[in-house]
């Protein structure tokens, strides 16, 4: 009677395969829903690509002209800068540095050549212009004046 048992076993296996196939189909459907139907251009000016508030500044806490989260000067194309630059590194790397347009462009080139930064397209000019405007070098000479934040009494 062993052949009867074999047929029963075979039936079980077929049913299992059917179930697996259905599950697979469901998975495939789920994934395809998440797959883009038409190719989209990745690099477009942010203003065209996303509209998520009447005034984007409403979404951010800005104190005395500085966006609190990033510490960036909240003027001009700061949002593009925040989105482009803070994906890979801290905004502190921006706010602590100073350079003219040429210097900032060189830093972008260096990041593209060695650090895997992508082509910024039309945004590059905006990023460079923002940085050269709000993070421009100041002439400090061979030694600048000491700045004291808090005077205190020496006991």
Q: Kindly list the residues in this chain that would bind other proteins in the complex (CB under 8 A).
A: 28, 31-32, 34-36, 38-40, 42-43, 46, 49-53, 56, 58-60, 66-71, 79-80, 82-84, 86-93, 96-99, 103, 107, 115-116, 118, 123, 137, 139-144, 146, 148-154
Nearest approach, Cβ of 67 to other proteins (angstroms)? 7
Query: Please, which residue, 10 or 68, has the CB nearer to other proteins?
Result: 68
Q: How many C-alpha atoms does 48 have within 13 Å on its Cβ side?
A: 7
Q: What is the CA radius of gyration of the chain?
A: 29
Instruction: Identify whether the C-beta of residue 49 lies closer than 8 Å to the C-beta of residue 42.
Output: no
Query: Please, which residue, 5 or 40, has the CB nearer to other proteins?
Result: 40
Nearest approach, Cβ of 10 to other proteins (angstroms)? 31
Instruction: Identify whether the C-beta of residue 77 lies closer than 8 Å to the C-beta of residue 129.
Output: yes
How far CA 99 is from CA of 76, 96, 125, in Å, comes to 17, 10, 15
């Amino acid at each position: 009677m062993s052949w009867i048992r074999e047929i029963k076993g075979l039936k079980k296996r077929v049913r299992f395969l059917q179930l697996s196939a259905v599950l697979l189909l469901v998975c495939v459907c789920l994934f395809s829903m998440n797959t883009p139907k038409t190719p989209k251009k990745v690099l477009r000016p942010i203003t065209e690509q996303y509209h998520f508030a009447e005034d984007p500044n409403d979404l951010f806490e800005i104190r005395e002209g500085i966006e609190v989260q990033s510490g960036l000067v909240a003027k001009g194309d700061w949002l593009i800068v925040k989105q482009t630059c803070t994906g890979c590194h801290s905004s502190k790397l921006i706010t602590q540095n100073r350079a003219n347009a040429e210097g900032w462009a060189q830093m972008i080139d260096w990041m593209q050549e060695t650090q895997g930064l992508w082509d910024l397209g039309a945004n590059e000019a905006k990023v460079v212009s923002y940085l050269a405007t709000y993070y421009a070098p100041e002439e400090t000479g061979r030694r600048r004046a000491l700045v004291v934040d808090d005077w205190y009494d020496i006991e």
